[in-house]
């Protein structure tokens, strides 16, 4: 998934949020560049961010 995904469950005073991004852990080249002093330099690639997921608990009192 390219866009962040989130779900929130609320019941006062406790809240739980579940979120994730790139859940299938797909890697794509997001950009190419050259590094160095010459015209061609060393070619490098930037990859998409890795899989990110989490659960957030919030309690109020």
Inter-residue contact 29 to 43 (CB < 8 Å): no
Distance CA 56, CA 50 (A): 19
Total number of domains in the chain: 1
pLDDT digits over 6-52, tens only? 666 666 788 888 889 888 988 888 888 777 666 666 778 888 889 99
CA dihedral 4, 33, 35, 42 (to 10 degrees): 110
- Tokens matching residue 10: 């609320």
pTM of the model: 0.56
Token pair belonging to 32: 């190419």
Which residue's structure tokens are 């109020």? Answer: 60
Domain range for 31 is 5-59
Beta bridge partners of 21: 52
């Amino acid at each position: 998934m390219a866009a962040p995904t989130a779900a929130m469950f609320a019941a006062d005073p406790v809240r739980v949020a579940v979120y994730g991004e790139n859940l299938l852990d797909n890697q794509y080249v997001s950009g190419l560049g050259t590094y160095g002093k010459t015209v061609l330099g060393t070619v490098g690639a930037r990859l998409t961010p890795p899989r990110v997921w989490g659960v957030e608990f919030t309690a109020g009192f």
